[in-house]
Structures are given as structure tokens and as C-alpha cells.
Chain A
Amino acid sequence: KQEVTQIPAALSVPEGENLVLNCSFTDSAIYNLQWFRQDPGKGLTSLLLIQSSQREQTSGRLNASLDKSSGRSTLYIAASQPGDSATYLCAVSTDKLIFGTGTRLQVFP
């Protein structure tokens, strides 16, 4: 059974810091891995999608890496801003999409 874990569960940082969110999964037979953002009371917004054949994807200040053999992905956020405050979820795709429990990020001015 695929299990997805995210560490840390919560993170509070001052504005401007570079930070790393971690995602690990137990079964490396995945098609892709996605990172999502969820604002309080809202739905999920896709941030980055990494195919299983790729090592990383970048979008603006976000960079996500994937090491399928070790079952790990990281989301790197550069120069964090208060507007980055949200819950970040990773999900791995096999025949279905399985989510981690998320990292709740707070960036304070």
C-alpha cells in the first residue's frame, strides 16, 4: 500500500527565508508526483507536476525535485513571502492519486 508522508507538519518562518518542504513515499512505482497549495477554506491548486522520468521542475520561486529510487521529493521555496502562507500537499500518482497530510506554512513579515 502506497503511503505518503510530509515533514514537517507545520513551519513558521520570517519573510525572505529559503525553505524546503519534504515528501516521501513508500512505493517507487509512480507515474508522477504533484505539489499542491491549499489556502484555508479553499480547494487545491496545482503548483508543479514532475513526471516519473524527470528529476525536477521549476516555476518562478518554486523548485520541486524527485528522487524516485529513494522515494523522496522536495519543494524548495525561494525568498518566501507572507503570500506563500498556506498548506502544501504532495500527491503521488499510480492508478490513483494518493496524498500526504501536508505541511502548514506560515511566513510572517
Chain B
Amino acid sequence: NAGVTQTPKFQVLKTGQSMTLQCAQDMNHEYMSWYRQDPGMGLRLIHYSVGAGITDQGEVPNGYNVSRSTTEDFPLRLLSAAPSQTSVYFCASSYSPGTGGTEAFFGQGTRLTVV
């Protein structure tokens, strides 16, 4: 049971480049989400999904796209990377919060630097 797997672990991009951060879970969780973590800012929600085919914006969605074509995968796309997107990105999954809530599991993070 791998849990939540994020790839890559590290990435350096040039300004204007695009890339996709991958997230996969094998726990059949309906709920998946992406966060970014910056010093002094805590974890801020970028986008989330309550099931395949359903996504919604979080607190800081600008510059990011997501899609959820399967229950297992929830990729995060940076359309045109900017230095302000330098951060550590975390993917999380759980059963739906609306069912009373269950423990959330996190990936190990992707450290992204945009130069």
C-alpha cells in the first residue's frame, strides 16, 4: 500500500515554462487536494476534488490547473511558471470530508524552484 505518491520530488523551472506535478493514491479516496507551503504562510489550498470529474478552486488557484479523470490521479499543472510559484507542493487524499471526515494522508512533497 503506497499511500499518496508525488512526483517529482524536486524540480527547477525557468520562468514561462509549464509542467505537471503528479499525484496518485491507492486508497480509493474520493477527496484529493493540492496545497502549497511557504515560510510563515502555512499550507494554502490551491485546488481540490471531491471525486472523478469534479474539481474546485481553493484559496490560491491562479496560475494552476487541475483535472480529475480517475479516482486515483490528481495532477497539478503550472501553465506558465513564475518565480512566485517557488514553493513546496503537497498532495493529500482522504475519504470525503462530508461523510463525517477521515484521516487525511499526505505525499512527501515536491520542492519547486522557478528561476
Chain A residues near B (Cβ < 8 Å): 31-32, 34, 36, 42-46, 49, 51-52, 89, 91, 93-102
Q: Which residues of B contact A95 (CB under 8 A)?
A: 50, 97-98
Structural contact, A97 and B100, CB atoms closer than 8 A: no
Q: A104 CA to B108 CA in the complex, in Å? A: 19
B49 to chain A, nearest CB (A): 10
Structural contact, A51 and B105, CB atoms closer than 8 A: no
Structural contact, A97 and B33, CB atoms closer than 8 A: yes
Chain B residues near A (Cβ < 8 Å): 33, 35, 40-45, 48, 50, 58, 90, 92, 94, 97-98, 100-109
Q: Which residues of B contact A101 (CB under 8 A)?
A: 40-42
CB-based closest 6 A-B pairs:
A32-B101, A101-B42, A31-B101, A99-B43, A44-B106, A93-B97
Q: Which residue of B lies closest to A30 (CB)?
A: B101
Q: Which residues of A contact B101 (CB under 8 A)?
A: 31-32, 49, 51-52, 93
B8 to chain A, nearest CB (A): 14
Q: Residue A96 contacts which of B33, B100, B103, B105 (CB distance < 8 angstroms)?
A: B33
Answer whether A97 and B97 are a contact pair too, CB < 8 Å, given A43-B108, A46-B103, A49-B103. yes
B56 to chain A, nearest CB (A): 8
Q: Which residues of B contact A102 (CB under 8 A)?
A: 42
Structural contact, B102 and A49, CB atoms closer than 8 A: yes
Q: A5 CA to B39 CA in the complex, in Å? A: 15
Structural contact, B35 and A99, CB atoms closer than 8 A: yes
